[in-house]
Amino acid sequence: MTIRFDGKVAIVTGAGNGLGRSHALELAKRGAKVVINDLGGNRDGSGASSDAAKAVVAEIEALGGEAISHGANVAVFSEVEDMVQQTIQKWGRVDILINNAGILRDKTFSKMSLDDFNLVMDVHLMGSVNCSKAVWDIMKEQQYGRIVMTTSSSGLYGNFGQSNYGAAKLAVVGLMNTLGIEGAKNNVRVNALAPTAATRMTEDLMPTEVLAMLVPEAVTAGALVLCHDDAPSRHILCAGAGGYASSAIFETEGIYLAPDKQTPEAVVEHWEQICDTSQQTTLDTGFKQSENFLLKAQIFLQNQ
C-alpha cells in the first residue's frame, strides 16, 4: 500500500523548520496542497519572520507541488481564523491539520515565572485548541478530517525543568481523546504524535552524535500514518530515530471496599492489589471508569 494525499489540503503549524517542515514537505511530495504556518519566532517564542515559511513554500513549488504560507500566531484565534479562511478561499476545503507549533521556556518550577508557564500553555495547548476549533465544523460538514496533536514524552512521563511544557503536552492528549469521540460520526479522526527528533527544540539538549540519529523524517513517517485515509483515532504514536511505539493510558482492575471499609487505612492495606497490573485495560471513555466502580458496588450489594 502506498500512502498518498492527492486532492487533500493540509495545514501544518510551525512548518518553517524542523518537524513541521519535514511533515509539510512529505505531505506535498505525496500529493497534498499544504499551508505552511509559521510565526517565524525564536525557540522561546520571541520575534517573528515570514522568511522560513516562504522558503518551505519555495521548496514545495520547486518539487511541482502547491503551497501557501501564513504567519498566524496559533495562540491568537482571530489570526488562525484568517489562515483557515484563506485556505478555504484558495482550495475550498481543509482535510488535515497537524498541530506542531511550539516553543520552549525550560526552568525548574521554583525558578519559572507564571508568564513563562502561561505562554508555553498558550502556544502548545491553546494553539492546538484554536487551530482545531477553526477547522472543526469544516471537517464535520465535509465528513472528513484528520487532526494530529503533537504530544511529548515530557507530558506522558515527565521531564526535569519542563513543568510548563509537560503540562501542555499531556493536556493535548486529553483534547485528542474527547475530540476523537465527538468527531467519530463525521469521520473526523484525531490522534497524537510523541516525537523525538533533532530540531531547534533539542539541539542543545543532546550530544551531537545522538542528534545525528534523530532525523525529523523518521518522525514524519509516523505523522503521516496518523493523518491518511485509514488512520486510527485516539491513538498515541511515539516515533524517533527509526523507532516506533504505541503509548496508552491504562487502568488497573482495582478493588471494591465495603462501605464500612472505605477508609484511608483500608486503601493503604490493599495498595498492592489496587496497583496490580495483571488485568489492566484501556478505557474507551471516562465513563468506563465510573461503570467499573459501580459494577463492583452492585455485585457487592447483590451478594449481601
Please identify every residue annotated as catalytic: 165
238 forms beta bridges with 194, 245
Query: What angle in degrees, to the nearest 10, is found between the helix axes of 127-141 and 163-183?
Result: 10
Radius of gyration of the chain (CA): 21
One-letter amino acid for residue 172 of the chain: V
One-letter amino acid for residue 106 of the chain: D
Q: How far apart are CA 106 and CA 75, in angstroms?
A: 19
